[in-house]
Amino acid sequence: MSSPSERLAQILTEGRFVAIRELGEECAAELHTHAKERYLALEATIPQFRSSMNRKLFELGPPVLAIYQALLHDLGVDREPALRLAEDMLLAFYRKQLNRSPLLGAAMDIVFRLKPARRLLMKSMLAGEPGGFRFDRASDAGALLAFDVRECPLVTFARRHGVPEVVPMICRLDDLKVKELHGIELHRTGTLGTGAEFCDFRYVMAKK
């Protein structure tokens, strides 16, 4: 499992062509430097989770926040263009990760299609830890897997640093990830990151 600092380096590398396209070579190099400086300033505030699930779900928060802060405060990019650029860099990294893991979709398919695997996944999610993600089982007879996220440390972390607007771009990665599944869709009406009371996840079989 990668650390947030390793994820920052990967996002900056995989998203470099996006930064050069939008900012030019010189400013893209400055972004690289300032994002690392911003991350170092954030590092002491990153929660130290024991659970591997919490660490995995949280790992993109600090690097995305550092890149966004660098764009806003060090390079003087306006809010909306900074959000778009940070998300485009994140997507470049995430798509490369998916391409490097061709078996990911197959493994996820097994988890979603086998009831014992879903039960084991749900059990691990419900265990939780203080300050981490809090999942509640949800009732939905038509769903393969149904749960609600009631507490999200990504939202807490971003609010603490005054930039809650970065969270939705991380939420949207769930929609990209589910495309790796075959015949399974994610139905979701809201997320904590966009101001909803909870994130409702309903994984269902796609209609033919």
pLDDT tens digits, residue range 9-29?
999 999 999 999 999 999 999
Measured CA to CA, the distance from residue 133 to residue 126 in angstroms comes to 9
* Span between the terminal Cα atoms of the chain, in Å: 36
Same domain for 151 and 95, yes or no, is no
Question: Tokens 């999610």 sit at which residue?
Answer: 125
Tell me the backbone φ, ψ of residue 148, rounded to 5 degrees: -120, 140
What pLDDT was estimated at residue 196?
A: 95
Same domain for 201 and 108, yes or no, is yes
Show the DSSP H helices in the chain as ranges.
4-14, 16-23, 25-42, 52-58, 61-69, 79-100, 104-113, 115-127, 153-160, 167-171, 173-178
Same domain for 197 and 113, yes or no, is yes
Same domain for 27 and 68, yes or no, is yes
Same domain for 77 and 122, yes or no, is no
Instruction: Give the CA radius of gyration of the chain.
Output: 18
Residues 6+ apart with CB under 8 A from 25: none
Domain-terminating residue out of 82, 100, 118: 100
Same domain for 201 and 109, yes or no, is yes
Domain-terminating residue out of 45, 66, 100: 100
Q: What is the pLDDT along the chain (208 residues), one digit of tens a residue?
A: 678 999 999 999 999 999 999 999 999 999 999 999 999 999 999 999 999 999 999 999 999 999 999 999 999 999 999 999 999 999 999 999 887 766 666 677 777 778 888 888 888 888 889 999 999 999 887 888 999 999 999 999 999 999 999 999 999 999 988 887 778 899 999 999 999 999 999 999 887 6
Same domain for 95 and 170, yes or no, is no
**Residue 176: domain span:** 104-205
